[in-house]
Amino acid sequence: MIFLLLLSCMKHPTPPEKLLNNDDCLQSLREKLEQNDCLQLEYATKDYTDMLIRCHREDSLRENMWDTNWFRVSSSDIRYPDPETDYFVKEHSICVDGTWRIESYPPDFVTKQNLVP
pLDDT of residue 33: 95
Q: DSSP letter string over the chain?
A: -HHHHHHHHSPPPPPGGGSS-TT-HHHHHHHHHHHTT--SEEEEEEETTEEEEEE---GGG--SHHHHSEEEEEETT---SSHHHHHHHHHHEEEE-SSEEEEEE-GGGB-SS-B--
> What is the model's pLDDT at position 49?
74
- What does pLDDT average to over the chain? 81
pLDDT of residue 23: 86
Question: For residue 93, what pLDDT is reported?
Answer: 93
Residue ranges for the chain with pLDDT beneath 70: 1-18, 111-117
What pTM was estimated for this model as a whole? 0.79
